[in-house]
Amino acid sequence: MQVLRPISSNDFAALKTIAVESGHGFTSLPVDDELLASKIQRSQESFDKTLSAPSDEGYLFVLEDLETGEISGTTAIEAAVGMQVPLYHYHQGKTVHHSSTLKVYNTVDILSMCNDYTGSSEICTLFLREQFRRGLAGRFLSRIRFLFMAEHTERFSDRIIAEMRGVSDEHGHSPFWQWLQEHFFSIEFPQADHLVGLGDKVFISELMPKYPIYANLLSPEAQAVIGHVHEKTKPALRLLEKEGFEHRGYVDLFDAGPTVEARLENIRTVRETQNGTLIISEQVTEGESTWALSNGRLEAFRATFTTSVVWNEQSKTFTVAPKTAHALQLKEGDKVSGFVL
């Protein structure tokens, strides 16, 4: 049985393995021992805080196989982005060039640098190791974050965003960055990507063009990838779209990948979550549906997914097998939340 829980110091080696396997473009997990250790420490401190409003917290989780102890994936939530280090995006807009005298009317797409998502909560760092990409584990990692946020609303913004990985090749080269590099920078995309992952964003304000960029002046290759995701990111984007996330014209500065957003109360998982009381039974059988279940706690948060669940709408009870209750660290009569995967 696989269980999602807050990361601990003992998970450093597993997190580094995930960072290596995630490859170029996965800026939230750069291969840097000091930074990875600090992410674990920051997450532990975030879970330990008593809060009434979101600030600069980051919640990092790992998916563990209880039988083998192996870590198969990770996922995370940033409580309020851009509060300490500015969060930059390009916003896609339009400008009109019109001359009544010459009878000319041209609409031109532009990209304007902004900080519009400051203070939003961000879901990020979702990665499932390739050998574990089967069944519903990836969907579980994506959706369970919304349940955690709904159970601790005081810790998060009501606007949730997700920055999607943009188009790049197998060597980590981005067509969009290639154009920026030629005109404004002298470093390769993987290096810029790595600097962002390290939190070093000073060069953005120093070197990025301050005025709107006319999209039709970009190379055809750069124009073609604006707002598009990496091939490996398409399944993650489809999942978020099913949850109600929308792209409203914001793209990443470096690879032009889309940022999507939704209001927490409108997210499908939050709307479909059931809250009930736990019943433990040796006789519970597998059902047709797979349920994601959570114990609703904070630093002792546990969540798992299983088909051995019976939900009774009238009595508001979840009946589960003893091993499921053990995985969630719950006893008979405890509160539990869940939704159908």
- 265 and 284 co-located in one domain: no
Q: What is the per-residue pLDDT for 204?
A: 63
Q: Determine, yes or no, domain membership for 97.
A: no
Percent of the chain with pLDDT over 70: 92
Model confidence at 104, pLDDT cuts 50, 70, 90, reads confident
Average pLDDT of the residues in 117-141: 91
Q: Pick from 238, 253, 269: which residue ends a domain?
A: 269
Note down the domain range covering 313.
Answer: 273-340
Report the pLDDT value the prediction gives residue 144, as an integer from 0 to 100: 96
Let me know whether 59 and 150 are in one domain. Answer: yes
Residues 257 and 278 in one domain: no
pLDDT at 148 over 80: yes
Please state the domain count of the chain.
2
Q: Is the pLDDT of residue 234 over 80?
A: yes
Of 183, 228, 230, 326, catalytic: 230
Q: What is the mean pLDDT of residues 310-329?
A: 96
Q: What distance lies between CA 30 and its chain's CA centroid?
A: 15
Indicate whether 29 and 63 sit together in one domain.
yes
Asked if pLDDT for residue 198 goes beyond 70, the answer is no
**In-domain check, residue 159:** yes
In CATH, what number is assigned to the domain containing residue 247? 3.40.630.30
Please check whether residues 214 and 65 belong to one and the same domain: yes
Confidence of residue 187 (pLDDT cuts 50, 70, 90): low
Residue 294, domain member (yes or no): yes
Chosen domain end from 215, 247, 269 = 269
Do 190 and 284 belong to one domain?
Answer: no
Same domain, 60 and 198: yes
**Which pLDDT score, from 0 to 100, does residue 188 have?**
64
- Position 296 in a domain: yes
Residue 99 lies in a domain: no
The answer to whether residues 130 and 215 belong to one domain is: yes
Nearest residue to 145 via CA among 206, 204, 61 = 61
Note if 183 is an active site residue: no
Q: Is residue 137 scored above 90 in pLDDT?
A: yes
CATH number where 333 lies: 2.40.40.20
pTM, entire model: 0.88
- Is 188 found in the same domain as 284? no
205 in a structural domain = yes
* pLDDT per residue as tens digits for the range 10-60: 999 999 999 988 866 566 787 889 989 999 999 999 999 999 899 999 999
Q: Which range has the worst mean pLDDT, 161-165, 196-200, 212-216?
A: 196-200
Domain assignment present for 104: no
3-state SS, the chain, equals: CEEEEECCHHHHHHHHHHHHHHCCCCCCCCCCHHHHHHHHHHHHHHHHCCCCCCCCCEEEEEEEECCCCCEEEEEEEECCCCCCCCCCEEEEEEEEEEECCCCEEEEEEEEEEECCCCCCEEEEEEEECHHHCCCCHHHHHHHHHHHHHHHCHHHCCCEEEEECCECCCCCCCCHHHHHHHHHHCCCCHHHHHHHHHCCCCHHHHHHCCCCCEEHHHCCHHHHHHCCCECHHHHHHHHHHHHHCCEEEEEECCCCCCEEEEEEHHHCHHHHHCEEEEEEECCCCCCCCCCEEEECCCCCCCCEEEECCEEEECCCCEEEECHHHHHHHCCCCCCEEEEEEC
Confidence of residue 149 (pLDDT cuts 50, 70, 90): very high
Last residue of a domain, one of 219, 254, 269: 269
Q: Are residues 259 and 166 part of one domain?
A: yes
Does residue 207 share a domain with residue 288?
no
State whether 120 and 204 are in the same domain.
Answer: yes
Q: Is residue 257 part of a domain?
A: yes
